[in-house]
Every structure is written in C-alpha cells, then in structure tokens.
Amino acid sequence: MTGMPDIEQSYAGEVVRKGIHLCSLSIPLGYHYLEKSTTLSILLPVTAAFVLTDAARLFLPTVAALYHRFFGWLMRSHERDQAAPRLNGATYVLLSACFCIWIFPKTVAITAFAILIVSDTVAALVGRKYGKRPFLAKTLEGTSAFLVTAMVVVAVSPKVEALPAEYFIGFAGAIVGAVVEAVSTVIDDNLTIPLSIGGTMWLLYVIILPGVEVFSR
C-alpha cells in the first residue's frame, strides 16, 4: 500500500506528458495543408531553439537547474540523469518531424508521424496501466494498442491514389512501427518509430506501386 501514491503520481505524470505529446498532431495536420518548404520554414527554427536549449541544459549547470525547476516534473528519469545525458522527448519529436518531412514523400511522412503521435501515446498509457505480459522490451498489451491505433491512423490518413495496395503498405509500416516501438530502449523511439515506418512504406511503394507518383502530393 505504501507504494500506491508514487505509482498513481507516476501514471498521472505519464497522462500529462502524453497529453502534451498529442499536441504534436498539429504538425502532420498542418503539413497536410502546407507546402514542404513552408512547413520546414516553421519547424526548423523551433527545432533549433529546442535543441540549443536542451544542449545548454546538458552542459550548463545553471541552465539545467532552471530547466529542471520548471520542467523536471514532465521529464522521465533517464532524461534527468546527468550521468548519461540525452535530449528530452520533445526535442526528439521535433527532430523526427523535420527528418520525416525532409526525407519522405508527403503522404508517407504524414502517416508515419501521425502514427508516432497517436499510437505511441496509446501504447504508453495502456502498457503502463494494463500491461502484464512481456513482449520484447515492452508489454503485449501496449504493443497491441499501438498496432490497433496505427491501423486506424493508416485507414484515415491521406493516400496518393487511394489504391487498395496503399492501405496494405500503410498496414505493413504500422506493423514495423509496432515492433520497433516494442524493442526501442537505447535510441529514442520518437526517432526510430516514424523513420522505420516511413522507410518501410517508401520502399514498398517503390516495389509494389512503382507507377504511382508518390511525390505528387
């Protein structure tokens, strides 16, 4: 019984973190209506500011003290660990958004990044609350929640020509993303999830639908 308050506070913190995480859906939604150059012109300065602030936190004790005072309650334990410094999750989200938009075709980038935001959020909340059966480095319940919600994202995300094979490509990307999320421990999954999904989808477009102009959107 003595451990229950800490557990509840920890889960409440996770809910808040993931609520903020969901705000990042504004990136793929905005990109749907904006050009690639316009989207990057907005994202790159914001990302640079986050990277510089985060780097200052890692190397300047005064900045670290202020950062932890105001935002420490939102950070995971490994993000606060000064013995093994690493950027925080919000910075990785912005970096992955820039990479996805820069590298992948628009349809692929929107799908991959939307899966990161929606499915990673649901997987974390379900896994922390209901996860009991181990699966790779996570739980079967959390991974299942990731996969189901990722399939929903694929179903509603934009397509190049709305061909049935495009849904298969998206579902294949979702499966890869679920596995990558389940094994991610060292490299931040805010990077590995969308890049693995995007890479899988783009490769399958080339193999399965070589005649589709995937960069047309």
- What's residue 84's pLDDT? 56
CA nearest to 106, candidates 160, 58, 149: 160
> From its phi and psi, is residue 152 left (phi > 0), alpha (psi between -120 and 50) or beta?
alpha
pLDDT in tens, 153-209: 999 999 999 999 999 999 999 999 999 999 977 788 999 999 999 999 999 999 999
Cα 140 to Cα 12: distance, rounded to the nearest angstrom: 22
Q: What share of the chain is helix, strand, coil (3-state, %, to 5)?
A: 80, 0, 20
Structure tokens belonging to residue 31: 């990109």
pLDDT in tens, 100-156: 999 999 999 999 999 999 999 999 899 988 989 999 989 999 999 999 999 999 999
